[in-house]
Structure 1
Amino acid sequence: MLPVVIVAGGVASRLRPYSEERPKSLMELEPGLTIADFILERFRRAGLSPVYLVTRREFVEAFRSKLGPPVVILTVDREEFGNLYSVYTALKHVKPPFLVAMSDHVFEYEMLRRLISHRSSKAFTVCLDRKPSLAEAREGLKVVLAAGAVAAVGKGLESRYGIDTGLILVREGASAYVEKVISERGPTASIGDALDLAAKDGEVDYVDVTGLLWKDVDTVEDLAKARELCKRILARDYGKKHLGPLTLALVRPATFRLAALRPCHARARVALLAAALLFALGSVMLAAPPLQPLLAFALLYAVAFLGDLADLSAALARAGEGLTRAIALAELIAEVSALSLVVTALGEQTPYSQPLTALAAASSAVPAFLGRGEGRPGRLAWIADPLLKYAVTAAVAFAGFGSVALAYWICSNLSVAWPAGLPVAPPKPTGEAFPKLGVRVGHAERRLRAAAASGFKLTLALLALSYAQSYFGDVVLLNLEWLELRVGDVVPPLALILTVYYGYRVLIGAKILVDALTSRIVRALGITESVARHIGLDALYLAAAWLALAFVPSALRPLPVIGEVLSRVVALALLVVVIILLYDLAKVVYATFEDAFKRVLRKVAEAVSEGGA
């Protein structure tokens, strides 16, 4: 087995006063889940052992009492030393090859899997992130590439090519470089120094981990970000392996918010509730008569939503095998129900419908029970994305190609490739995570972030709806004796709903900007803060009402039956609002600057009189 050396000798000065109570890697990402627990669980999952943790004398008892016998604690015999000296100390107890990991880095399992499965004879293999954030690029260990090979490593280099992520595979030839650097530069040398020396000899290669989740925890802000990132890593490591862009874009944003509830123990309840609702919805759909396409698509979306909510909540709750299998059973029933909904729309025109339907139902067990396995999905696993599978199958079935729809269902289920078995979950959360951070995102900053994100999402949504209107406007969604509903009829009201939802968030962010500009307006014009805020908010609301008057009535007009009347009523109401806001704005501006207005009018009158004379 491959040994692991965890470097944990830092004093975490930027995390004071929290680091005065316990080492950095014993701080918690979630209640009961320390950074050390988090990374050790991934080493256990990969089958790596033994694990050595190198630290300073004053931290030995804290690590020993928390981590127990499975981890061998090694002590550095100095007060001042760099992280390379920790590796140098470990070399006295373990021979290469072994894995070196930073004790303050959280990462997803796939990063570790790629590194240990990489075959090479080089002295070192690093994990390279080509797209780090600006802050990570400034702080991280830069890696310079030349002709596809690592040419230099160091913190002072340019970050053009990417940075190291804190997981390094050390092989037989590495010992000489470690010992040489220690002898030349002393105990304060860094791992980057040894990597740079080896890179000059062509003895460093890399594994590309761009796009995988990881975080280096150095400050309180980093720890807060790591706690948020932990949820996303748990979702990737323990959730479904075959989600595609459609579910991630149209389902996951809402389910992630619901699943990431606090306190943490509420997540298991959400998972259980979602599984129960999924089971109930599946039971109802099994007995449902043939439905119109619009209602069928709505029910299929509900199945995808509840399935993802149950799965994600269980992943974030780090649920045990019992709840995971219960959710899988509910998902299987819902899958078969969704399939039956599609089959009832086929009628008798599909050849070989009975054997194809039976095979399709049986194939549904593959993603339901094996979709949470250890390995990564195959390259075609995205075809089994639940929402994509439901939408494509239903669309093809309603178009009259029943055999093709059933064949696609079978192939999408069988396209997922993972080994059997469920990952072992880490300990369940209890109590409150240490430390309880005093850093919080300010109210204004949080609102401005939400406003910027909402504006971006609204722009993308309106762009997508405009294309749908242009290319699919004549497609019939619902055809009843008294009503025919086309895509072109649905797009404007849907655009209105999205505009109201996201526009409200943008408006709240704009209010924050008005408040921020108030002090400047006060200094510039010499008026009171209340007057400046009144004028700013009136102007903001007036602009919003004016935009609503320009677009809302026209969006309501295409609605069947009530569209024309409703658009006139709304237009009249918005016109009244615009007039009231305009009057109030004019009144407060005139009352505030009355003397200035009179002086201007007096000068104008004098100028006119002189011109007439």
Structure 2
Amino acid sequence: MVTLPVVIIAAGVASRLKPYSDETPKYLMELEPGVTILDFILNRLENINPLRVFIVTRPQFRKTLEERLKERVVLVETDKDEFGNLYSVSLVLKQFDMNSFLLLMSDHIYEKSVVEEVLFSRSTAAFTVCLDRKPSLTEAEEGLKIVLNDQRVVDADKKALPRHGIDTGVILCREKSKVYIERAIEEFGPKATIADALKLAAADNEVDYVDITGKLWKDIDTPEDLVKGRIIYWQILRRENEAEGGLISRFIIKPVSTRISTAIYRRFDVEPLAITLVSSIFALFASFLLAKGESLLGGLLVMLTLLIGEVGSELVNLCNGKTPMIHASSLLDRVSDIAIVIGFSMPLLTFENSSIILLPILAAANMILVSYTTQGLNSLGVKTKGLRKIPATRDVLLFVVFISSIASLPVYGLYYLSVAPIFYLFYSIILALRSGKERIKPERVKKPPKPEVVIERGEVGRRVESLVSNSLKLALSLLFLHMATPAIADITLITFDDLVLKSDHLISALSLAVSIYFGYRILMALKFLIDIVTKRLVFVLRVSEFTLRHLLVDSLYIFLAVTLWIYLPPQLRLIPYIGENLARLGALVIFVFFTLMLYDMAKLLYKTFGDLYRKMIERITEKLHESTSSEKA
């Protein structure tokens, strides 16, 4: 794995955070007691094992940083009072020889995966930025806008419209970036900004991006930002804990365990080993009950063991792994796994079935190997996200014990525990062999084929024509079938034993088929027109094009769900024998789809316009207060 140097810009004056920044630099303000913004950033970097970390700061803060960070970083002092953020980068490049490096802002917090995404970018461009396509309204106003054309970065400007999204302050700079940094300093002097270098590079098609939309991050510039950043900080910690583990853990266990572990960490001083010890006690109880044939209660205790064990692991992560006896916790987990496998296997070990004794041995060995293999790959910095999709992680194996126990089918559970991890271990070996390869790999530059064909202006007209014509065809087809129904209704077409197929069933099937066919064509035309409307609304609402498109598509899907709710269940009820059940199932599916779309839309609206909403409430409150005060006067 190739490691890169990291440059952190921490030389601003934080004027918008006064009076708080008069005594404390912004990057030393705390997200939680004892954890500063800079601490959080440096912890994000531990997984990538940087060659060196350079921090550019003002001379008056050097001593403070030296005392806090000791030998962890290399400090670079600025030599001017007023300068742009690109000048800070140029100071490091003048004093130290480096090729590619990772550039970070000292006032941005983000998930670990943001850094991982940009480091795994397979590009040869001078700069790779992290693009958030759905920033909030406030972020879109203040952030550096990234302008795209055919998925290529063509501009970077704070004054541009936030049509395509904004930069999030994490930038991978390759060797060619130094040319554009030097050019920007020559053209704009010490007040040159990173945006100036990106603009120059974009003109030469030397800027690309990774899409980190949906990941949590925050730029802290004001006191309000700091308050919000402290909230997002805990959300980031929870999400990073949720991202680890296998399929069962992520979708069933961690939505509960992360809430418990975060609450414990914030309110109590609990040693993770104590939680793991409780988990091991429950594992021993589960083993005893399984051995006694109490499958239901034993299976439930296995799941409780898994839940408590996850809480313990998450507490270790929240402590950044800096907790005593961490290896003892890992050993207790392995003992718990072996105990559960033994208890699970006991009812099957009889004289008549002695050959099955190999299965529990293999199952126990697999449980241990899977856990230690995952830990080993993580310590090497190998990305295990794809590996965890194989249903053979510890959480999945314990879930199999739970399911096969309550189903009274332990032998099938043992077979799974004995075979499934083999595929997991085989793929682990492949990942370990690949781990020596570089993360940043050159690849062919993706360009559109020449000549580049421009879509004709008549495309919009054709889409509108498609929308109108398919809507008319749908209406006429349904009208024709409705008018034909009285003439051909209740005619028996096929009779086979108890099965009777009538003309009504055929008409219902035709109506459904016609609705699906023309409805799909109408939907595609509407989605294209939504793109056109989105580009116009960007100028009015000044939010990103991606956000507007998301909102409009959600609105379209909500309308579609309501239409299906009214029309589909009555049609399904006409199907013989299974019609009623299908109608109920269809109504349930539509309801779930409607609820998810409505929730997604509400969440996006709040994220985008939440700051505006709060400002409106504050203004109304102020007006009411002024009115009340004047009446009293």
- What per-residue deviation string (whole Å, max 9, x for no partner) do you get for residues 325-382 of structure 1? 2222222232233334543565769895321211111111134445442433242414
C-alpha distance in structure 2 between counterparts of 1:350 and 1:205, whole Å: 62
Match of 2:320 in 1: 318
C-alpha distance in structure 1 between counterparts of 2:354 and 2:227, whole Å: 58
Q: CA deviation at 1:401?
A: 5.5
Match of 2:403 in 1: 395
* Cα distance, 1:110–1:263 mapped onto 2, change above 3 Å: closer
Which residue identity does 2:413 align to in structure 1? A
Q: CA deviation at 1:397?
A: 5.7
Q: Helix, strand or coil: the match of 1:206?
A: strand
* Cα distance, 1:320–1:67 mapped onto 2, change above 3 Å: closer
Q: 1:261–1:267: 8 Å Cα contact kept in structure 2? A: no
C-alpha distance in structure 2 between counterparts of 1:145 and 1:99, whole Å: 22
Which residue identity does 2:126 align to in structure 1? A
Q: Helix, strand or coil: the match of 1:92?
A: helix
Q: CA deviation at 1:399?
A: 4.8
Match of 2:182 in 1: 179
Q: 1:346–1:397: 8 Å Cα contact kept in structure 2? A: no
* Cα distance, 1:114–1:351 mapped onto 2, change above 3 Å: farther
Q: CA deviation at 1:320?
A: 3.3
Q: 1:132–1:163: 8 Å Cα contact kept in structure 2? A: yes
Q: CA deviation at 1:134?
A: 4.6
Q: 1:110–1:376: 8 Å Cα contact kept in structure 2? A: no
Which of 156, 180, 185 is the equivalent residue of 1:153? Answer: 156
Match of 2:591 in 1: none
Which residue identity does 1:122 align to in structure 2? A
Which residue identity does 2:198 align to in structure 1? L
Instruction: State whether structure 2 residue 99 is matched by structure 1 residue 91.
Output: no
Q: CA deviation at 1:191?
A: 0.9
* Cα distance, 1:234–1:407 mapped onto 2, change above 3 Å: farther
* Cα distance, 1:216–1:291 mapped onto 2, change above 3 Å: farther
Instruction: State whether structure 2 residue 379 is matched by structure 1 residue 377.
Output: no
* Cα distance, 1:344–1:313 mapped onto 2, change above 3 Å: same
- What per-residue deviation string (whole Å, max 9, x for no partner) do you get for residues 285-313 of structure 1? 23224445542342122111111111112
Instruction: State whether structure 2 residue 195 is matched by structure 1 residue 192.
Output: yes
Residues 2-81 of structure 1: pairs in structure 2 closer than 5 A: 2-81=4-83
Match of 2:285 in 1: 284
C-alpha distance in structure 2 between counterparts of 1:93 and 1:136, whole Å: 34
- What per-residue deviation string (whole Å, max 9, x for no partner) do you get for residues 420-439 of structure 1? 9xxxxxxxxxxxxxxxxxxx
Residues 374-523 of structure 1: pairs in structure 2 closer than 5 A: 374=379, 375-382=382-389, 383-384=391-392, 386-396=394-404, 399=407, 402-410=410-418, 413=421, 415=424, 417=428
C-alpha distance in structure 2 between counterparts of 1:367 and 1:227, whole Å: 36
C-alpha distance in structure 2 between counterparts of 1:18 and 1:130, whole Å: 32
C-alpha distance in structure 1 between counterparts of 2:415 and 2:113, whole Å: 32
Q: CA deviation at 1:249?
A: 4.5
- What per-residue deviation string (whole Å, max 9, x for no partner) do you get for residues 460-505 of structure 1? xxxxxxxxxxxxxxxxxxxxxxxxxxxxxxxxxxxxxxxxxxxxxx
Counting matched residue pairs gives 422
Match of 1:363 in 2: 366
- Which one has the bigger helix percentage? 2
Bigger relative CO (Cα 8 Å, ≥ 6 apart)? 2
Match of 2:520 in 1: none
Q: Which moved more, 1:129-138 or 1:96-105?
A: 129-138
* Cα distance, 1:370–1:237 mapped onto 2, change above 3 Å: farther
Which of 250, 253, 261 is the equivalent residue of 1:251? Answer: 253
* Cα distance, 1:392–1:125 mapped onto 2, change above 3 Å: same
C-alpha distance in structure 1 between counterparts of 2:318 and 2:296, whole Å: 33
Which of 121, 126, 132 is the equivalent residue of 2:124? Answer: 121
C-alpha distance in structure 1 between counterparts of 2:194 and 2:306, whole Å: 47
Which residue identity does 1:58 align to in structure 2? Q
Q: 2:242–2:254: 8 Å Cα contact kept in structure 1? A: no
Match of 2:593 in 1: none
C-alpha distance in structure 1 between counterparts of 2:322 and 2:265, whole Å: 18
Instruction: State whether structure 2 residue 205 is matched by structure 1 residue 202.
Output: yes
TM-score by length of 1: 0.61
C-alpha distance in structure 2 between counterparts of 1:396 and 1:341, whole Å: 13
C-alpha distance in structure 1 between counterparts of 2:369 and 2:160, whole Å: 48
Match of 1:219 in 2: 222
Q: CA deviation at 1:23?
A: 1.0
* Cα distance, 1:328–1:160 mapped onto 2, change above 3 Å: farther
Match of 2:539 in 1: none
Q: CA deviation at 1:165?
A: 2.2
* Cα distance, 1:132–1:370 mapped onto 2, change above 3 Å: farther
Match of 2:474 in 1: none
Match of 1:337 in 2: 339
Q: Which moved more, 1:256-265 or 1:206-215?
A: 256-265
Q: CA deviation at 1:176?
A: 2.8
User: CA RMSD, aligned part only?
Assistant: 3.5
Residues 513-552 of structure 1: pairs in structure 2 closer than 5 A: none
Which residue identity does 2:157 align to in structure 1? G
Match of 2:502 in 1: none
Match of 1:481 in 2: none
Q: CA deviation at 1:203?
A: 0.4
C-alpha distance in structure 1 between counterparts of 2:137 and 2:393, whole Å: 33
Q: CA deviation at 1:250?
A: 3.8
Q: Which moved more, 1:52-61 or 1:407-416?
A: 407-416
Q: 2:295–2:405: 8 Å Cα contact kept in structure 1? A: no
C-alpha distance in structure 2 between counterparts of 1:240 and 1:340, whole Å: 30
Q: 2:299–2:406: 8 Å Cα contact kept in structure 1? A: no
Q: 1:238–1:315: 8 Å Cα contact kept in structure 2? A: yes
* Cα distance, 1:213–1:344 mapped onto 2, change above 3 Å: farther
Q: CA deviation at 1:243?
A: 3.5
Q: Helix, strand or coil: the match of 1:100?
A: strand
C-alpha distance in structure 1 between counterparts of 2:163 and 2:269, whole Å: 41
C-alpha distance in structure 1 between counterparts of 2:87 and 2:34, whole Å: 31
Specify every segment of 5 or more residues in structure 1 that has no aligned partner in the other structure, as ranges: 421-515, 524-613
Q: Which moved more, 1:182-191 or 1:200-209?
A: 182-191
Match of 2:113 in 1: 110
Q: CA deviation at 1:198?
A: 0.9
- What per-residue deviation string (whole Å, max 9, x for no partner) do you get for residues 372-420 of structure 1? 4243324241424555443344434655665542243345545274879
